[in-house]
Every structure is written in structure tokens, then in C-alpha cells.
Amino acid sequence: MTSAVLAVDVGSSAIRAAVVDESGNVRAERRVERQDAESGLTFDAEVLWHQVVATAAAVTGGHGHDIRGIGIAGHIGTVLTDRSLAPVGPAHGWADSAGLAELRERLGERAAAVLRASGRPTVTGGALAALVHLRTTDPPVFARVAYALQPKDFLVARLTGVVATDHTSAAYFGASAVRERDWSAATIAAAGLDPGLFPAQHPSTGVVGSTSPAVTRLLGLARDVPVVGGGPDGTVGATLVAGTRTDAVADVAGTTDVLVRVLDHPADPPPGATLNPYTSPGLWTVGGATGMTGGAVSWWAQLLGYAGPAAALERLGTEMDRIGPGAGGVLADPNLSGSRFPRWSPATRGSVSGLRADHGPAHVLLAVLESVAYAVREGVDRLAADPGLSIVLAGGTARSPRLARLRADVLGRPVTVCTEPDVSLKGAALLALTGTGGPPLDEQARLLRGPLHTYDPEPARAARYEHLYRDWRAATGGEA
């Protein structure tokens, strides 16, 4: 039997673990709902650690002799720990903006230089802001902090005893010099922080360390095994979908849509986009995460009385096809928690307008689905001015032919679909397999993700959506 790796994907609401071999076979898999968080604001890192260990141990049983490495993908956030790797206070989720006001005041005129170094369009939350906030609000607790980590980095440190991060995750601290794949000494000094708070940076496929003997026993492994750097879940998913291609935009559609275009040089990003080092050494990406897209569809589906998007589409899909482009005049804005890439407007809120007495649930759901596709198009158009560039789509939207066709029509571009349901989980396996002696990244990615299918835009519908998209932008505060 060929060797395999343990892959872990830590999402905002669930933890997934799987044993995956080089051929893409999933030998064991488990998914559990997270017990440590109810929102994207805060979570309990200690509870997360115990859940991850239990979930991973549940899939390694009977496979401990075959596992040669571990890879982890995780959501963005901040875990502050003391020198023993015990969490200091609650951990910060991806939506936590604590410390932004203090950080902006501290940076002052140096903010532009910090944004240039970090590849960000605006000052956002992250470890830099969290540290400044804690130092301002609770100096005694701040004095206990030894390390600032991403959630994934905290897990890697607990597995190996090595405090580290990968180059892509480091970009989300707010203190990285992304073009150099290193920390920005000037940024850290401007924030008045100790450089020792920030962990060493490694490639996503680089081996950080090996499991400690105690962890090896907990996971039921036959021996201590290497753990690679891993990365942010959206980028890790994009790595599985697009590999090192520079001629497409990867769209990993989940609660938000993470849009990624790979570059072979660290060019200045388009307005509103972020610049990150990529999971593959020597490459960078431009892109960003939208506001709530898939999350908004789920919210509206449940508000309309359905268990989720799949149930709503099954019941209302035929009627939506009959209604056609424009949702009968109903117009929606999906941004229930503010918009991110490319507008970066945290005060934006979701809405539905244009309702009449003859409208029903199908009109509302179609309007929301169209608005999500419009929001994605705004980002895609920033990243790919060439209309010939295709989109590689993965995630929940990719598993619905109806929604994939809608994306192609609204974007006015071919949409190539990866139907693998867990791209971040398989992406974590990809990094571990590549980093522990497997085939080159692109070859391994093809084996793991399976076949792709392309949807071309239907000309008449695409032309109609071109006008509707311009109307939507004008109505929601974008340029017409």
C-alpha cells in the first residue's frame, strides 16, 4: 500500500480531517462541528486544539504506519500565546477588527509605507492590530504574550513544538514584507512591538518540524512524522484548483468567495486587491476575499424557510429558470457583514429592493444569487482585465450546474469547475504530499482534484447580464 498523509482543514464552523494518498484516494475522513466559536469574532484556541487532535486521531486509526506527513489549512485569525504555547485570552477570528483605531493612530503618516510593505489596500485586523489593542487595554495580560500566531500556526506549534508560520499566512498578520517573504522591521517598529513576537516564516510545503513523541502517541502514528507549513484555507484550496497557472483566476466559493490570481513576480496589486506570497515558492498572488456571498445565500435560504441553499434550489430552481435574468426587477446586495475585496466598505449592509406583491421566494433567491455573482465579477474584473482569461471555480457553487452556468453568464467568461467538495482539505494533503517527497505540485494537484468541466457563457444571457451588472453597480454604490 502506498504511503499517505494526514490532512486537516480548520474552517470557521467545522473541522475536517482525512488520510489521503498520492493517487487522491481518501482512506478515512471525518467532519465535526466546532465547539469553540459561534462567530468569526473570537474562539477558544485550547478547545480548538483538543477538537483537532480528537478529529485527527479518529481518522488515523489503522493508518498510522502509512502516514508520512501532516498538512493543515486554516481560517485567518490570531492566537496569542505565552512561551509554553498556552493561549493568552480569547483568540481572534477573521472578522475581529479590535485594535484598528489604535493601530491607525499609532501608524499615523507611516500607514502608507506599512500598506505598501504588507501588500494591503487598507489597514485591517490581524495580529498587529490585536497586539496593539491588548497592549492598550490590558498591559499586564499583554506582558504574558510571547508569540502571535495564526490558528493553523498554533496547531502546528502544538504538534511539533516549533513556533513558525508560512509565507502566505504571515501576510495576514499586517506586519509582513510580502515581496521579501519576511517580516517588515519598519512596520513592527512603527507599531512599537517586539520582533520576537512574530514567528519564523517558512514555505507552505516546507517541513517545519516533526510531531513530538507525545503527539505521535495521541494521533496513533507509528513514528514521529514531518509537519509542513500549510496555509490559509482559501489559498490552499486555490492551490489545489489552479496549481501554478498564471492564466486564470481561481474562485474558491464558500461563506465568502476567495479570488486568487497567481503571478510570477510581485507586481503592485490592482486597486482593492491584496498581494501575497503564494504557497508555491517563487510565486505571488493578487486577489482577496469578498464579503459574505455563500453565507448570504445560506442566510436568505433559511429566512425563506428552507434548510439551506441546496433545498431552496431544488424547490425553486425551475421557477427561477422561468423568471430569467433580472429576477423580475428584484435587486439584492449580499453584504450582510460589510464588503471586502474589492470595495472594502465595512459599513455596507445587505438589502433587497424592488419587491412587488406578485413577487415570491424564487424572485428573492434569484436576486440574491445574481448579486453574489455580481460581487464576484467586481473582483474578477479587477484581477483579469483580459476578458479571455477563464475562471476556475470550486466550493459549494461549483457543485451546482445551475449556479455554475449563472456564474459564466454573469462573468461573461468560461468557468471551469472543480467538483471536489473539500478543496481546502485536499489542498492541505497536496502541500503535505509535495513537501514530503511526492510528485511536483501541479502533477500532484491533478491527481487529487479529479476532472474539470467547463461552462461557456450563453451569449444572449451574458449580454443581458452585462446591462444588469452595470445597473446593480450603480444601485449599490459602485461605478455604473
Q: What is the rounded distance in angstroms from the CA atom of residue 457 to the CA atom of residue 461?
A: 8
Q: What does the block give as the cell for 132?
A: 496593539
Strand intervals (E) in 203-277: 207-210, 226-228, 231-232, 248-253, 256-263, 274-277
Tally of residues, the chain:
480
- In this structure, are residues 161 and 116 in contact, taking their beta carbons and an 8 Å threshold? no
Beta-carbon-side half-sphere exposure of residue 305 (alpha carbons within 13 Å): 6
Q: What is the pTM of this model?
A: 0.91
- Residues near 406 by beta carbon (within 8 Å), at least 6 away in sequence: 369, 370, 373
C-alpha 13: how far from its chain's center?
13
* pLDDT score, position 38: 57
Write out residues in the chain with pLDDT < 70, as ranges: 1, 37-40, 479-480
How far, in Å, CA of 26 to CA of 13, rounded?
A: 22
Q: Which three cell numbers stand for residue 286?
A: 493578487
Distance CA 164, CA 227 (A): 11
Q: How far is CA 466 from CA 191, 392, 474, in A?
A: 45, 20, 13
Q: How far apart are the first and last CA of the chain?
A: 58
48-52 LR contacts (CB < 8 Å, sep 24+): 48/10, 48/15, 48/91, 48/151, 48/154, 48/155, 49/154, 49/155, 49/158, 51/15, 52/8, 52/10, 52/15, 52/17, 52/155
Half-sphere exposure of 214 (CA within 13 A, CB side): 4
88 close to 149: Cβ distance less than 8 angstroms: no
Written in H, E and C, the secondary structure of 313-338 is: HHHHHHHHHHHCCCHHHCEEECCCCC
- Kindly state the cell numbers that stand for 401: 450546474
C-alpha cell at 234: 482559501
Torsion of CA 358, 359, 362, 363, to 10 degrees: 140
What is the Cα–Cα distance from 292 to 349, expressed in whole angstroms? 10
What pLDDT sits at residue 35? 86
Number of H helices, E strands in the chain: 17, 24
Q: Give the tens place of pLDDT for each residue, 168-210.
A: 999 999 999 999 999 999 999 999 999 999 999 999 999 999 9
**What are the structural domains, with CATH classification, of the chain?**
4-229 (3.30.420.40), 238-418+450-480 (3.30.420.40)
Q: Look at residues 177, 196, 219, 182 and name the one whose alpha carbon lies nearest to residue 70.
A: 219
DSSP-assigned letters across all residues of 99-127? THHHHHHHHGGGHHHHHHHHT-SS---SH
Residue with cell 515558492: 281
294 neighbors 257 (Cβ within 8 angstroms): yes
- Cell matching residue 278: 503564494
Residue type, 200: A
| Average pLDDT of the residues of the chain | 94
3-state SS class at 478: coil
- Nearest alpha-carbon partner for 436 in 70, 65, 16, 8: 70
